[in-house]
């Protein structure tokens, strides 16, 4: 099986944020609760980045809502 770039997608549904992740061999998850605030979702995404993207030689992409991206940038994570 060939390695693929990883992906992490955070999205808002209702009053909360959820996440889908895909690893280098296609594994991962869909619809995991990521938090109620943009800050919580940002921390969740950064933790997944270490697990899925930083360990993949092909890297990957993170897809985040603007407010989650801003929360990460403000926290200087």
Q: What is the pLDDT of residue 21?
A: 96
Identify the residue whose tokens are 């270490």: 50
Whole-angstrom Cα distance, residue 34 to residue 36?
7
Asked if residue 2 has pLDDT above 90, the reply is no
State pTM to two decimals.
0.89
Asked if residue 41 has pLDDT above 80, the reply is yes
Asked if residue 77 has pLDDT above 70, the reply is no
């Amino acid at each position: 099986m060939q390695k693929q770039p990883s992906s992490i997608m955070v999205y808002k549904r209702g009053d909360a944020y959820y996440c889908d992740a895909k690893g280098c061999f296609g594994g991962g998850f869909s619809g995991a609760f990521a938090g109620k605030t943009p800050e919580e979702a940002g921390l969740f995404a950064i933790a997944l980045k270490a697990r899925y993207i930083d360990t993949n030689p092909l890297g990957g992409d993170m897809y985040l809502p603007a407010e989650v991206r801003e929360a990460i940038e403000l926290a200087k994570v």
